[in-house]
Chains A and B, each alone.
Chain A
């Protein structure tokens, strides 16, 4: 159990365009999902907490208008990078927390390159 699917795994987009990343929980319902960003050779930094049916909670320094999060169902959260710029190029990864022995489960990540 606790499988998280993230799509796409890799995307290249032009500067100024928007990119949507999907995170799906395949075998359980997730009222909360977490979005992280990871720059090369650095650790994961939490961007926002996605809450089903309500607004996401953003970490300090993360622009909510630039990184739009939608959590419309118990199995899907999306992160849209709007008006992407080269400095947004990074590895984005989602996760969910499963109570009990499994703890946090992560998606496979999305490598975004803005050219």
Chain B
């Protein structure tokens, strides 16, 4: 069974700092990996989607990398802002079987003004 782990569980940084969120998964036979943002009491907003054949994806201040062989992904946030404060979730979709997502436990990020 696919297990997804995110470290750290919580992170506080001062505004302007660059930061890295980590995600690891146990089964490398994935179809793709997706990073989401969730604000308190809200749904999920997709940030970046990396296909299994890709190494990284970039969108604005966000950069996500994927190392499928080692079962790791990172989300890099440059020049953090208070508006970045949220819970960040990574999720993987398996290559075979049902096409649902397996979610990590999330990293709760607080950017201090």
Is the beta-carbon distance between B105 and A43 smaller than 8 angstroms?
yes
Is the beta-carbon distance between A103 and B46 smaller than 8 angstroms?
yes
Q: Is A6 an interface residue (CB 8 A)?
A: yes
Q: List 18 A-B contacts (CB under 8 A).
A: A32-B99, A43-B104, A44-B91, A44-B101, A44-B103, A45-B103, A95-B44, A101-B49, A102-B49, A103-B46, A104-B46, A104-B91, A106-B45, A106-B46, A108-B42, A108-B43, A109-B42, A109-B43
Q: Is B28 an interface residue (CB 8 A)?
A: no
Residue total for B at the interface (Cβ-Cβ under 8 A): 21
Closest 6 interchain pairs by CB? A103-B49, A108-B43, A106-B44, A109-B43, A43-B103, A44-B103
Expressed in whole angstroms, the Cα–Cα distance for A105 and B42 within the complex equals 13
Is the beta-carbon distance between A42 and B105 smaller than 8 angstroms?
yes
Mask: chain A, 53-97; 1 = CB below 8 Å from B; 0 = not: 000010000000000000000000000000000000001010101
Expressed in whole angstroms, the Cα–Cα distance for A93 and B44 within the complex equals 9
Q: Is B96 an interface residue (CB 8 A)?
A: no
Residues of A within 8 A of B43 (CB): 6, 93, 106-109
Expressed in whole angstroms, the Cα–Cα distance for A74 and B74 within the complex equals 35
Residues of A within 8 A of B46 (CB): 102-106
Given A45-B103, A106-B36, 19 additional A-B pairs, CB 8 A = A6-B43, A34-B100, A43-B89, A43-B105, A44-B89, A44-B101, A46-B101, A49-B98, A57-B98, A93-B43, A93-B44, A95-B44, A101-B49, A103-B46, A105-B46, A106-B45, A106-B46, A109-B43, A111-B41
Contact with A43, one of B49, B98, B100, B106 (Cβ below 8 angstroms): B106
Interface of A is mostly: strand
Expressed in whole angstroms, the Cα–Cα distance for A12 and B49 within the complex equals 35
Q: Is B63 an interface residue (CB 8 A)?
A: no
Residues of A within 8 A of B32 (CB): 103
Expressed in whole angstroms, the Cα–Cα distance for A49 and B34 within the complex equals 19
